[in-house]
């Protein structure tokens, strides 16, 4: 196919070759630009998730900013009590004031922070994890079939994928409409004829559904593969 580029000069003259003239190169440039941005963003997120992912997802720090030390302490105690009542929280650990001051010393200097300087109160919160493999194993030991376990996790993954797909679709629709509006305002000629067709919305709406179907298939294969390793 690449050899098709090596046409003799006389043949190349038959159809005039533009130099970035007409809409096609620009449309392709924009498409490729957006595709590369999305791919780069996806790869970066995947790498970030792979490296630090689980700890990041399972731990947050609550910061309480209040200048009055008594009120700050009371608020920290109230937040700690409230969080400890939540089932989805595995551990709530108020950070001692001395530790917070030690954290700030590299920026503010040693001995600068005394009791009168208001520092935020911090509370470390660890979320309880949902151990998928463990749940599968428990179901398995109670006589659950591979298909039963797979169906449960397919459903969970499908809901996650659908929710993510809807959010992604809404954001994409907003960008498409906004960018489309800008293009419409551009001087006719450069991108004349380039507009987003109405049927395009139907095509785009299918993409989240396709992603959901793919996610369900992957979940099913993963769960069944894990179960096949058990008796």
Q: What would the x/- binding string for other proteins be over residues 147 to 176, using CB under 8 A?
A: xx----------------------------
Residue 134 as a binder of other proteins (CB under 8 A): the answer is: yes
For other proteins, the binding residue among 34, 141, 173, 213 (CB under 8 A) is 141
How many residues touch other proteins (CB under 8 A)? 22
How is residue 72 written in tokens? 């700050």
Question: Order of strands across the sheet with 59-64?
Answer: 59-64, 121-127, 89-95
Residue 128 as a binder of other proteins (CB under 8 A): the answer is: yes
Count Cβ neighbours within 10 Å for each residue of 166-203 and write b for 16 or more, e otherwise.
Answer: eeebeeeeeeeeeeeeeeeeeeeeebeeeeeeeeeeee
DSSP state, residue 156 = H
Residue 104 as a binder of other proteins (CB under 8 A): the answer is: no
For other proteins, the binding residue among 79, 139, 176, 191 (CB under 8 A) is 139
Residue 3 as a binder of other proteins (CB under 8 A): the answer is: no
Residue 87 as a binder of other proteins (CB under 8 A): the answer is: yes
Strand partners, 146: none
* Nearest distance in Å: CB 144, other proteins: 5
Residue 95: left if φ>0, alpha if ψ -120 to 50, beta else—which one? Answer: beta
Question: Which positions lie near other proteins, rule CB under 8 A?
Answer: 87, 90, 128-131, 134-135, 137-148, 230-231
């Amino acid at each position: 196919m690449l050899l098709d580029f090596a046409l003799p000069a006389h043949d190349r003259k038959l159809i005039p070759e533009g130099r970035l003239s007409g809409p096609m190169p620009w449309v392709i440039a924009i498409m490729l630009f957006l595709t590369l941005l999305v791919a780069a963003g996806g790869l970066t997120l995947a790498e970030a998730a792979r490296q630090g992912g689980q700890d990041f997802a399972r731990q947050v720090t609550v910061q309480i900013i209040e200048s009055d030390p008594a009120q700050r302490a009371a608020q920290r105690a109230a937040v700690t009590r409230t969080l400890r009542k939540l089932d989805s929280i595995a551990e709530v650990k108020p950070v001692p004031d001395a530790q917070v001051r030690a954290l700030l010393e590299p920026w503010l200097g040693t001995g600068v922070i005394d009791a009168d300087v208001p520092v935020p109160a911090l509370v470390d919160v660890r979320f309880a994890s949902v151990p998928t493999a463990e749940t599968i194993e428990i179901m398995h030991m109670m006589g659950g079939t591979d298909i039963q376990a797979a169906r449960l996790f397919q459903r969970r993954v499908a809901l996650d994928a659908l929710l993510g797909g809807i959010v992604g679709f809404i954001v994409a629709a907003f960008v498409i409409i906004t960018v489309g509006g800008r293009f419409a305002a551009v001087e006719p000629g450069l991108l004349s004829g380039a507009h987003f067709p109405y049927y395009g919305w139907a095509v785009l709406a299918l993409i989240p559904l396709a992603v959901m179907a793919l996610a369900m298939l992957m979940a099913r294969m993963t769960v069944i593969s894990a179960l096949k390793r058990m008796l």
